[in-house]
Structure 1
Amino acid sequence: MDWLAGLPPGGNRSYNACLVIVDRFSKTPIFLPCHKDNTAMDTALLIWNRVISWTGIFTNIINDRDNKLTTALWKNFHQLFGTKLSFSTAYHPQTDGLAEKMIQTLEDMVKGFSLALEYKTSIHASTNQTTAILEKGWNPKLPQDTLRKELIEIHPTAARFKGMLDKARKQAVRCMEDSFAYAKDKWDKSHATPYFKGGI
């Protein structure tokens, strides 16, 4: 288990972090919205109410020495339920770094989401409309429409997240422009301009 912290606040409780738990056997991920300043007790309650009630008690928790999991509260938790806490470093072959890899996957999914959203809200040359307009009659509000342009203070991870969205959007635009240019060039090479001769 590990945390993706410093995200832009979202949801009715302004969550700004995500607790990522991955089952070592099935590789099933669990994403729990939370706050970066959650205490050890907050984390224990979150796991108890949202995870253990569904999966049962863990036999082993692997983490990279987060201080939330090394408190007396968690030591007692492990003693009570007979669980074990193992420490890892990211991509350590013995512990597999599952949560860290899942966080990278989650970041890639955000990029994929941004790419798909950019595609659906970009005007297509053949229709002169976006696919969203043609499908639903309206364009969805994009993340960049709601992000504040200037922030007095921004957490480095939040800045990285915002930068990641901006970068993915620009990359999507470049890819689509290249794709349209390639398709046009291919069409132009295989189709001659028709010549019409005037007649009677």
Structure 2
Amino acid sequence: MYTICPTKILEKNCSMNSKRANLVLNSPVNKKLSLLKILRKNRPAFPICEEPLGKIRGHDLKLYLDVKRPYQPMLRRPPYPASLETRKEIEKNINDIPDMDVIRNIGHNEIVEITTPVLITWHVGKYRLFGDFRALNNYTKADRYPIPRIPHSLEKLPKAKYIPKRGCMKGFHKNGVKPSSIKVRRIICHMGIYEYTRIPFGIKHSPDHFQRMIDTIYQEEILEGWMVVYIDDLIIYSETWEDHAQYKDRVLSKCTPINLKISLKKCNFGQQELLALGHKVSGLSLALDQNKLAALLQKPVPRNIKEIQFFLGFASYYRNHIKNISHIPSSL
């Protein structure tokens, strides 16, 4: 496999971002050409550099609070104390996000009833801003839409020869919210009060809503039995290249009408094996992701109940690969 710049994938004169997408090098020329033809045909499904983030059409989220006015003090909290370094990172994130039309500043004359303090955390090589929505989540009515069980999703994949993967770009931040729900998603920091116009990270129903949306969009493809969806990961599997190309075209063609964008960085095209949902999947086997396993082995031996629970939770995720796993915890 090799990486190829999206400018070469989609159009010769296309002003795309600099992220990379994965293509298989040893595929015959005719297969690579057919793949490029499909990608160029569905070019609007991929983000363009400097293009506004945009919003997915027709799938706004609405929150239902299980509490009456006046709201509980836990829903009207002041900003958390923050160091100078933390305040700088908050300012940087706050100043960057409005460019994507994800949050907006609250006007001076607006009545503010719910405020959630912001947190800043290190995630995948950069700082990420999000609200501490734990209190809001406690007062939000539950959404019981089922998230697929990962073992059930993976058990079909080893039978396939081609297993491409796609990831939705800015998944939650591409999803809008109903106007009545915007006022409950207000965050507060030393810079003032802001409100999310899109789904923020940390909201109770974010995964359930996104899973329902993707299941609705690709209901036919899922029922036909050649597509697996886990929140914002879209996995297609097929036994022939012809089916692989046809399925890929169908999936991408449904993105443009609703403005769903596919992240090239998260895409793998024409591959016969890939890393997905913590596993290495190929047409022959379903194995552990060695990177995940190596990260666990670097951790110290559990010394208390909380650390043991973390270890057992990780081990249980790979229970199908561990013989007699139900008998092992008794010794711990």
Q: What TM-score comes out, normalization by structure 2 length?
A: 0.17
Structure with the bigger RCO (C-alpha within 8 Å, sep 6+) is 2
**Structure with the higher fraction of residues in strand conformation:** 2
Q: What TM-score comes out, normalization by structure 1 length?
A: 0.24
| Structure of higher CA gyration radius | 1
